[in-house]
Structures are given as C-alpha cells and as structure tokens.
Amino acid sequence: MFDTLSSRLDKVFTSLRGRGRLTDADIDATAREIRVALLEADVALPVVRSFVAAIRERARGAEVSTSLNPAQQVIKIVNEELVAVLGGGTTTLRFAKTPPTVILLAGLQGTGKTTLAGKLGRWLKTQGHTPLLVAADLQRPNAVNQLQVVGARAGVEVFAPEPGNGVGDPVRVARDALAHARRQVFDVVLVDTAGRLGVDEEMMRQAADIRDAVSPDEILFVLDAMIGQDAVSTAQAFADGVGFSGVVLTKLDGDARGGAALSVARVTGAPIMFASTGEALEDFDVFHPERMASRILGMGDVLTLIEQAEKAFEVEQAEAMAAKMAASEFTLEDFLEQMLTVRKMGPIGNLLGMLPGMGQIKDQLAQVDDRDLDRVVAIIRSMTPAERQDPKILQASRKARVARGSGVTVTEVNQLLDRFGEARKMMRQMAGGAGLIPGMGRGKSAQARKAAKKGKGARRSGNPAARAAQAQERRSGQDRPPALGPGTGGADLEGMPDLAALMQQHGIGGGNAGGSGPGAGGNPGHGPRKGR
C-alpha cells in the first residue's frame, strides 16, 4: 500500500545522510520533497500543509541544530509526525458496563463491511467475547446470505430474521437483535448496515434510524483505503450525517497509494482502530499508528512479526524443535511441520517486509513466491516416513519417484536435499559452539586455515605411506564438507565454510526468511529457488 510513499521518503533521507549540519536550504528542499511525496500518495492537501509545516518548524529548532546526526533527527521528527497524523496511539473498543456492547458498522457499498463484520466477530471471539452478527443490510442482493456464510466461517452466530434483497425493515431487525442478544447472553452485537455506491440522504437516514434504535457504544466507519482523495469527503459526510467513533481501514493489501490512511484520522478527528490487510478472516488486527509509521519509513514492524509468530508457534512446539536442532535430530518431518506453521503466519513476502531494512530490497521481496514453499511441502510429502527421517536413503530411483509425486524435477529435489543438508550442518556447528563466524571459537586461526588450504605449513608425517595418505586427503578435501569430530567443540573448523555466504546462497536463515519464527535459521525453503 505505501511502497511508493516509502520509496520517495527513502530517497529524501538518503540525500540527508552524511551531512554534519543542515542548512535552511537543506531543510526547505527536504520539506518540498516530503510535500511532493505526500501529494503523490493522495494525502489530503490540508493534511499535507500542516504536516510539512510541522516538520519544517521542528527541523529548524534546537533538537536538530545541536544533534550529532541531523539526518537521523529529521527522520525521528518525520516518524513522530506520521504517528500523530495516523492518530497518535492505539485506540481500543469501549465496552458497555452492562452487556451487550453494540457496535454499528457504516460505510459505502463495496468497502467490505460484511466481510469485516466476520473478521471483527472472529477477532472478538479470540479475545474471549461472545459476539452476534446482525444482518441489517436488507437492500444489497444476497447481503444476508453472504453474512451467514462469513459468520459460519468465523464461527460466529448470525441473527438474520429477514431474507433481505429488498424485503424487511432493518431498524426492526436491529432492535430485535438487541433483545435476542440479551436473552441468549451475547456480550457484543455487530450490526451490518446497508451501503450505497455514493453518499445519499436515504442511506444516511436509515443509518441514523438504526443508530437511534439501538444506541450503539461504538460506530465504526468502514473505509476502503484505495479510494484516495475521495476518502476525506466521504468520511466527512458520514461524520456529519451519522457520526462515528472510529475508523476501520480495509484493503490495505492493495496497490493504491494509501493517502486515505494518512488523511482520515487527522480530518475527522476519529482514530483508526482496526485494519484489514487481506481477504482471509485472519487478515485483521488492531491498528497501531507507531508501527504503521515505522513501516512507511522502512524501519520494519518487528512487534507485529513477533505477535504473528506467537500466534502460529506453540511454546512447547518451539522448545521441542529447538531441542532437536541442538541434538542434531532435526529431520525433514520436523522441517515440514515448521514450514506449515510458518505458512500460517501469512505470505512470506509480507513477513520479510516487516523486518528492518527490507525496504531496501523491495524488488527482491516482490519475487518471493509462496508457491516455492508449497513445492517444498509437496516434495517432502511425496517421501515415505523412512525417507523423511533419513534422506541419505534417497537414491536416484527414489528421487525420481518423489519428483513425479510432487510434480517437480529431480534437480529441484536435489536442491532441497542440499539445502537441508547445509542447514543441518550449520545447526550442528552452532550447537557445538563453533559460532557463525569462521575463526571465532576453538580451532585454528584464519591464517593457519588459509595456509593449510594452500598446502603450506602442514605438518608432514615421517612415514611415507602416511605422508601419501595426507596428500590424498588434502586433494579430496577441497570438495568435501568439513567433518565433525571430537576435540573441536562439535565441529572441525579447518576448512569451515563462511556460513553467512552459505545462508545467502542456499536461501537459509537471515539471507532470506530467517528470523521468521523459532528455529527459522534452518528454513531452507524461504528464498527464491536457485537454478530456475
């Protein structure tokens, strides 16, 4: 959503880095570039003016002039102002002292109100509430049926006494739903109201009548984040006609420029409370202004990534996986389980985008295809249990069978096995205390290893047969992985490869998707595959 804005701001900040002092001309030029970036992102003009004026004023103040790094101080100012524009802080729902809490959803047709009702209902259920969805949109064709389907998927009961499609009184449905919730002990009532293609008096009057009938504790304005400049006028019309206490942004996974999110909170004074980032019911969460500002500025969103990992990974599962890695018992069966768990967290590209600094490689992230991960899962599932436990038994005929069963080539099967082997080797070396950096830990120094590799400085045996065996070992050792043995802390550091380069080459760990969750250093399937 904010890729264009992020790219423009990154160019602005890049031009500031390395300067020991910012002149008034530098500040004016920076303010102009930020102004252009915001206007190109469809941010409302009044918001742009106040935003740029605040940055210019603060950048000329003492906090920048006395700073050791003025460029970083300007970035800090822009981040704080972005947080202020987005609402200043996280806002939560207000629940009624006496249940049920009534939440009214309002907005234009096509903004995703009905789907959002299911997402919000599911989210409330995970928070320990018992929500009830109310089908009060009786105008749009199949709106009632759609809410029933969404409610069933979310595991939330739907109150729908009328068939809809132009039949029924939405005000009476909302009033009856409130009475039903009291009888059946539902503590939250979510009322899905009708929308229109544009703001009109009939829609406003109907929404106001429903509001007066149920006296909602919260009125949430559902806004399509992709509609650009029109978001401000639409939000203002609803604020004047019905009023609302919070905003929910939908379709944040779209490719629009995102100005609605940066405009509506400042113009209406109502906070953004929730955000929908995809079509799945799970793609919904509380809106955090500081995290969104951090992502816009390319600083990542590690807290959200951690929260998603905590939801996907069970503590006992993570501890058991870590123990297997430490004991060198990590198998393809464990790897498959880990892949499926990571898959639950969402698209890999989105997860990587939450890591700090990933804004620098947007093009590479765009090439990360979740279908690569699906192929890895298919390959492993085409193996027998014995083959998953011991990949060494996979000879040519078995690999051909696995390739046919998973719809890939034998080369791709070999690539997966090679990556998995390198990952297990890395785990053994880390568990043995070798460390990630060659030369750090027990073993010979870097100079000694370099000399040994060239065949210089090695101790020669006085026995001619032993000396010949040593020469043969040196010749064959060029293509042989480092051996594990006693006396080396679990890993022979002589000839130990650069693991950082291995991780990058084979798509393991930090070079691609490492850090996505517990034990992610052994995830060889996260990056774009080689040789395709």
Gap between the Cα atoms of 391 and 335, Å rounded:
12
Would you say 110 is a known binding-site residue? Answer: yes
Contact 284, 123 (CB under 8 A): yes
**Residue 283 backbone phi and psi in degrees, to 5:** -80, 65
The DSSP output letter for 42 is: T
Who's near 90: CB < 8 A, 6+ residues apart? 286, 287, 288, 289, 290
Question: CA separation (Å) from 219 to 193, 194, 214, 223, 373?
Answer: 11, 14, 11, 13, 41
Who's near 101: CB < 8 A, 6+ residues apart? 93, 94, 95, 187, 188, 189, 217, 218
Contact 523, 464 (CB under 8 A): no
DSSP-derived 3-state class of residue 142: coil
DSSP-derived 3-state class of residue 54: helix
Would you say 87 is a known binding-site residue? Answer: no
Q: Count H helices, E strands: the chain?
A: 24, 8
Would you say 253 is a known binding-site residue? Answer: yes
Pick the closest to residue 83 from 296, 308, 357, 356 (CA basis): 296
Pick the closest to residue 1 from 358, 260, 355 (CA basis): 260
Would you say 193 is a known binding-site residue? Answer: yes
DSSP-derived 3-state class of residue 156: coil
Would you say 194 is a known binding-site residue? Answer: yes
Question: CA separation (Å) from 132 to 140, 204, 381, 452?
Answer: 20, 24, 40, 72
Would you say 439 is a known binding-site residue? Answer: no
Q: How far is residue 461 CA from its own chain's centroid?
A: 58
Would you say 336 is a known binding-site residue? Answer: no
Would you say 108 is a known binding-site residue? Answer: yes
Would you say 107 is a known binding-site residue? Answer: yes
Question: CA separation (Å) from 105 to 29, 115, 135, 266, 283?
Answer: 43, 11, 11, 20, 18
The length of the chain, given as a count of residues: 532
Gap between the Cα atoms of 41 and 51, Å rounded:
14
Would you say 251 is a known binding-site residue? Answer: yes
Pairing of strands 272-276, 284-286: antiparallel
Would you say 457 is a known binding-site residue? Answer: no
Binding residues: 107-114, 192-196, 250-253
Binding residues for GTP: 107-114, 192-196, 250-253
